[in-house]
Structure 1
C-alpha cells in the first residue's frame, strides 16, 4: 500500500519544494515598515488623469514645468553601485533578532481578517557602517512576513534616526534590506521594480547591498526604497493623502480591515477603503463610472497588466498580497503601488491551477470584477498590448540582466552555478514572454477561473503526531521509503483518531528542483507517508532549517525553523489538506552525511480551509 503511492508522494514533495518558499499563503510580503517621513522637498509629480510617473507634472507655482530638486539619496540607489553595509551589535541581540518569528496560528487561524498583524520584531542598537561611514547608535530589526523569514539571512530594517532624532545618511533615514531568500538569481526584486517604473508607474528605487553582521558575510541583499513620503512626493502633486499597506488584503466583504494605514494613522477614518469595495458592487453597465469615481482605472489596468507581464503572482491581482494603495487628494482617486516582487519572472504559479493563463491574474477583487465585464476585459487586453509596445523592451531587459549578473558575480562565487542557472531562466522568461502573452490575448483574452476564497482564515481541523526513523539521502532513491519507518497518529476530526497501518519515511534534498538547495538555504526535507484503516493515504512534508536539523535539534512550525504541510495522496493527484501550526519537531539524530540516521518525533495542530 505504501509503495504504490511512492510516485505520488515524490510528485507532492517536488510540488511543495517549489511552493514552500513561494507559497507563503500570500505572505511573502516584505513586512510592515514604519512610513518614511519627508526628507527634503520635491515639487514634481504627474498630473491626475494619467499614470503617475517620475516627474513631469505641474508644480503648482505658475512658473512653468517643475524642475526636480536634487535628491540626496539618488547616489544610494545608483544601480551600478553595490552598497557595503557592516553591522556590529551585541551577539546576544543578533541571536535574538534572527530567531524572532511570527505565530502561524495568529496569522492564519480564526480571526485572521480582523485587522493588520502586529510586528513581532524588536529594535536593537547597533553600529552601522555604510560605504565606510559609521553611524553609531543606529537601530536594526528583522523584517518580513513568512516567505522571506530566515534565521541565517534575515531581511533587515536599519534606522539611523531611531535613537538619534532626525539623523540621516546620504538623504536616507535608514535602509530596507530584503534577503532575496526566495530568489536564487538575487535580481528579481530590482528587475521587477524597473519594469514597473518603465511602465510609468510609481515604484521603489532598488539596487544591491553587500551585508555583514559582526564580521559574518550574509551576502547580497536587495536595497529597496520604502513606500513613503519621499516616493509619494516624487510621483504625486499632493503627498498628504492616506497610504495603506496590503498583506492578504482586498476590497471585498470582511477583507478591508487588514489594510494597515501607514500615513495619517492618527485619523481612524477608513471609509475610503469601503467606498472602493462598495463601488465593485455596481452593475456591469455602471461599473466603469462608479468605480472610476474612486479608482484611477486606467492606471490600475496598467499596474495590473504589469503584474501579469512579469508574473508577479504574489502581488495584488495574483494573490491579494504585496501592495500599497494611495488615496491621492488631488484627483480623489486611489492608486496601487507594487511591493515585494521577488516572486516574478517565472511562469509557474504555485497557487494557480495547471494551465492557468499567463496573460492575466485576477484573484484580487478589483481585477476580478473588471475582468468579469466583457468590455472592461477587452480594455485590459488593450492595456497589455500597449504595455508590450511601450515598456517591455527585451533587448534592454536582457542587457540589464547581464549588467546585474556581472555586478554581483564577485559576491556569489560559492553559489555561482545556482545563480547562473536561475539568471538564465529569467533570460528565457524575458525572451519568450511577448509571444506567450500575445498568443493568449489574440483575438480575445482568456477566461480566468481561479477565484479567491471568501476568507484566508483557516480553522483547526485536527492533530498529527508520530515518530520517524530513516537515513539521509533516502529521498533520492527510486523507492525512498524502503529504509524508513516510524509511527503516524492522526485525529482528523478530533473524535476520529487513527494510527497508520503502514509507514515510510525519507530525508534528503529535493532532487527534482535544480538549484533548490541554494533557494532553500540548505534546508533539509523530511517526508513521511502513512496508510490508514479508512483507506486514506497521508503524506507529511517538512522543510527544516540547518540549525534545527542537528542531533537534539528542535523547532516550531514558524516558517523559518520548520515549514510543514499535510497532503492527501490517496488519489493520483496530491491535495494539500493543511499546514502545521502549533507544535514542534524534534530530532534525536540528524545529519546530512550520506546514509546518516535521521530519527525523531513530531506533533502538530493542523490548520485547514482558507486557501486550502
Structure 2
C-alpha cells in the first residue's frame, strides 16, 4: 500500500472489543495496549492500541498510539501516533509546523490527517504522526543511533530542574529512551554535563564533538519562528547519529504554535524572544561565530520560508481540504466558524511575528 498524497484524508476504521475498550477507558493514564483491528479500504491488520499524551488524556477526545505486532509494516512503520489536536481549533498547526521545519532543512516526522472511525462510529479528524524510531531512520537512509523523547520540561539541557532550580537526581531526567542502550545513556549524560561545564574559551570547539551545531541552529530557527514555547525544553526528540557521533534535534508535538498556546489560548506574537531559551541555546548563542550563523540563517528564513507570500496559499489549501471532514466531525462540526476564522489568526501571527523578528535581528549582532 502506498503512502497517501499530501492532503489526502484517508478513512481508518478501528474495531476494539467492548471489553478491551472498557479496559482502555477505565485507566486513561495506562500505557498498556489492548488488541484492535485496523481497516484501511480492503486491507485489515491486527494491531495494539493505547492512549498517548500527558495532560491531553484528561481532554474529551483522546489521542492514540498504535503498534503493528506482525509484519508487513504499513507505510514503512510499526508504530504511529493518532493525535486529536483537541486544543488547536485549526487542527493544522502541527502539520504546518512539520512542513515548515522540513522546508528549512530539519529532520522531521511525517504527518497526515486521517478520519478515524471506532466500531462503526466516527471519532473525527485526527493527525497521524510518524514515530521517531529505527523505522524513521531507515526510511530516510539515516545511520543507526539512539533516540530519546524529551518527555517533560526537565529536558532543558541543564543540571538544574526548571521547576525549582534544584539539582537533578539524574542527567537523564526529562528523557525517555526510544532506541538505544545503557552505553547511549552514558553518552547523553556526558553531553548534558559537558554543555554545562565546558569553559567558554573551549566551548565552540568541544561542543561540535557532541552536537551538529548547524542543524541545531536550523531547529532553533524553526522553534523561534513558529513560537513553540515548550519546544525548547520538551516537545522534541534527540537523535544520536552514531556515524557522526553527534546529536540532532527533531521537532515533536507542535499544536501550540502559530499564535496559540498549549491550551489553545491566544499567544502574543512577541512572547518568545528571538534568542529562544534553554541552557544549550544560551551557550551556543554566547559564541560570536554561532550567533552570526544564527542571524544569517534567520534572515534567510524570514525572507523566504516564513512569509505570507510563501505560506498563505498552503494554509488556505490545507484548510479547504480539511473543512468537509470538520463538518462531519462530532466534536468540531458545531465549531466550524472557529475553524474557518483560524486561517486569519495564523496569517496575522505570521505577519506580526515576521516583523517582530526582523526588528530584533540587531540583538544578534552583525
Partner of 1:445: 364
Give the aligned partner of residue 409 of structure 1: 323
2:355 corresponds to 1:435: yes
User: Matches of 2:95 and 2:310 in 1, distance apart?
Assistant: 14
Alignment of 1:181 onto 2:86: yes
Change in Cα spacing, 1:175 to 1:374, as seen in structure 2 (3 Å) is closer
5+ residue gaps, structure 1, are 1-71, 103-119, 447-612
Contact map agreement 2:229 2:272 (CA 8 A) in 1? no
1:80 equivalent in structure 2:
7
CA–CA distance in structure 2, aligned partners of residues 196 and 354 of structure 1: 19
The SS at the match of 2:364 is coil
Q: 1:224 aligns with which of 85, 106, 129?
A: 129
Secondary structure in 1 matching 2:172: helix
In the alignment, structure 1 residue 302 sits paired with structure 2 residue 208: no
CA deviations on 1:378-408 (whole Å, 9 max, x unpaired) are: 4432331132234334323211111111111
TM-score (norm 2): 0.85
1:131 to 41, 53, 70: 41
Cα distance in 1 for partners of 2:223, 2:113 equals 22
- The residue that corresponds to 1:478 in the other structure is none
Aligned CA distance change for structure 1 residues 372 and 356 (closer, same or farther; 3 Å): farther
Pairing 1:21-60 to 2, within 5 Å after superposition = none
Deviations 1:356-397 (A, max 9, x none): 4542320x2211222345554444323311322343343232
Alignment CA distance shift 1:124-1:345 (3 Å) = same
Structure 2 unmatched ranges of 5 or more? 160-167, 328-332
Give, in angstroms, the shift of residue 433 of structure 1.
2.7
Provide the residue aligned with 2:204 in structure 1: 288
Which of 116, 122, 127 is residue 32 of structure 2 equivalent to?
Answer: 122
- 2: CA distance, partners of 1:347 / 1:226: 24
CA contact (8 A) 2:89 2:342 kept: yes
Residues 353, 181 of structure 1: alpha-carbon distance in 2 compared, 3 angstrom cutoff: closer
Instruction: Name the counterpart of 1:8.
Output: none
What's the CA shift string for 1:555-583, capped at 9, x where partnerless? Answer: xxxxxxxxxxxxxxxxxxxxxxxxxxxxx
CA drift at 1:285: 2.2
Q: 2:124 aligns to what SS in structure 1?
A: strand
Give me the whole-angstrom Cα distance separating, in 1, the residues matched to 2:108 and 2:272. 25
Which residue, 138, 151, 160 being the options, matches 1:247? 151
Partner of 2:191: 276
Q: What is the CA-CA distance between 1:236 and the residue it aligns to?
A: 5.6
SS in 2 for 1:361: coil
Which structure features the higher share of strand residues?
1
> Which of 90, 98, 101 in structure 2 is aligned with 1:193?
98
Rounded to whole Å, the distance in 1 between the matches of 2:178 and 2:284 is: 27
Partner in structure 2 of residue 208 of structure 1: 113
Shift of 1:133: 2.2
DSSP 3-state at the match of 1:257: coil
d(CA) in 1 for partners of 2:77 and 2:287? 44
Matching residue within 172, 175, 181 for 1:257: 172
Is the Cα contact below 8 Å between 2:256 and 2:262 reproduced in 1? no
Which one has a bigger Cα radius of gyration?
A: 1
1:21 equivalent in structure 2? none
More helix by share: 2
Show the counterpart of 1:329. 242
SS state of the match for residue 229, structure 2? coil
Are residues 1:149 and 2:149 paired? no
Task: Indicate the SS of the match to 2:230.
Answer: coil
Distance in 1 (CA, whole Å) between partners of 2:357 and 2:146 is 35
Shift in alpha-carbon separation, 1:357–1:86, aligned structure 2, 3 A: closer
Q: SS of the counterpart of 2:253?
A: coil
CA deviations over 1:42-62 (Å, ceiling 9, x no partner): xxxxxxxxxxxxxxxxxxxxx
Per the TM alignment, residue 293 of structure 1 is displaced from its structure 2 partner at its CA by 1.6
Cα distance in 2, alignment partners of residues 89 and 296 from structure 1: 44
Give the whole-Å Cα distance in 1 for the aligned partners of 2:312 and 2:26. 38
Aligned ranges for residues 549-560 of structure 1 at < 5 Å? none
Residue 314 to residue 80, structure 1, CA distance change in 2 (3 Å): same
Q: Report SS of the residue matched to 1:408.
A: helix
Q: Secondary structure at the match of 2:250?
A: strand
Spell out, residue by residue over 1:124-169, the C-alpha distance to the aligned partner (whole angstroms, 9 max, x if none).
112221234222x3221111122x22464211122232xxx32323
Q: Distance in 1 between matches of 2:304 and 2:136?
A: 23
Q: Can you list the C-alpha shifts for 1:320-340, whole angstroms capped at 9, x where unaligned?
A: 111111111221111111111
Residue number in structure 2 paired with 1:360: 275
Question: 2:297 matched to which residue of 1?
Answer: 383
User: Take 1:358 and 1:252, find their aligned partners in 2: how far apart are those partners?
Assistant: 19
The CA deviation at 1:196 is: 0.5
